[in-house]
Amino acid sequence: VVLKIIKHYQEEGQGNEVVQGVLLGLVVDDRLEITNCFPFPQHTEDDADFDEVQYQMEMMRSLRHVNIDHLHVGWYQSTYYGSFVTRALLDSQFSYQHAIEESVVLIYDPIKTAQGSLSLKAYRLTPKLMEVCKEKDFSPEALKKANIAYENMFEEVPIVIKNSYLINVMLWELEKKSAVADRHELLSLASSNHLGKSLQLLMDRVDEMSQDIVKYNTYLRNVSKQQQQKHQYQQRRQQENIQRQSRGEAPLPEEDINKLFKPPQPPPRLESLLIAGQINTYCQNIKEFNAQNLGKLFMAQALQDNNN
């Protein structure tokens, strides 16, 4: 499954193109076994009649005919410098998890993998966020009531990759036969471009967060302004009623002040949570880059001391 995901990206996802596919498998005891996958085909705007659901159903029907695990257990997606915390991913995972409770999304990071370590993580939406998504109420009050912050939107599921014994033997043979021209290349600090790109993406998201904060502050000012208008209106009505009573006239009828002053709609806060979660992901990537470089420096110094 891992090799199929990597192969899919190498064939169709070069650059910042995102590739996606379906995960197949079965639930065994308290674990989810992912035993097969197949990609979503790339299609353009010209393929307006392409039906993804029908394509998935036909693929799973074909796999069932050849006696291959065909149960739908989630989906996978590649990421570009860790840019996967988006509304599109949240909506897709909610649809999967709502229909199939054990569904997960696998996030494959080809850039980290190219640095020499497989980067593959599995995520699910937390039960709290699932409830909020079902209600479709992302107002500040609803999110506060559910006690949802960017830290508890997604839960990471640990991954264990297992191979058959024959494949392990084959990999052992290939490792013995493979020749690395210069093992010191593994200690190269060639991650400055990746670090710079991560910092640029981080700054972009911080700018988006600032714009979102401006929108929320504008909403608070509008609410405060409306409260003042309500108070002034009530005072005028009260003074007018006092004058009418002094003239022996009946007071003005009661009015629903909320109909006269419709409260401004609060901006949805889900995007802010997603931006905060993405900022946290970028910060984690930068920490990992720095840790890798620090480890390479220590290793290079140890090799140099050993040679001396």
What is the tens place of the pLDDT at every residue in 244-258? Answer: 888 888 887 777 777
Q: Can you tell me the mean pLDDT for 96-116?
A: 88
What is the tens place of the pLDDT at every residue in 110-142? Answer: 888 887 778 899 999 999 999 988 888 888 888
What is the tens place of the pLDDT at every residue in 222-246? Answer: 989 988 888 888 888 888 888 888 8
292 contact partners, CB below 8 Å, separation of at least 6: 115, 191
Tell me the percentage of the chain whose pLDDT exceeds 70.
91
Q: Which of 199, 212, 189 is nearest to 274 (CA)?
A: 212
Residue 157 class from Cβ within 10 Å (0-12 exposed, 13-18 middle, 19+ buried)? middle
Q: What was the pLDDT predicted at 168?
A: 84
Residue 263 class from Cβ within 10 Å (0-12 exposed, 13-18 middle, 19+ buried)? exposed
Two tokens, residue 161: 């990759």
* pLDDT band with cut points at 50, 70 and 90 for residue 107: very high
Per-domain residue ranges of the chain: 1-174, 214-259
- Range 1-174 has CATH code 2.40.100.10: no
Q: Can you tell me the mean pLDDT for 6-25?
A: 86
Asked if residues 257 and 209 have their Cβ atoms less than 8 Å apart, the reply is no
292: pLDDT strictly greater than 80: no
What is the tens place of the pLDDT at every residue in 200-230? Answer: 888 998 998 899 889 888 988 998 998 888 8
Q: What was the pLDDT predicted at 156?
A: 92
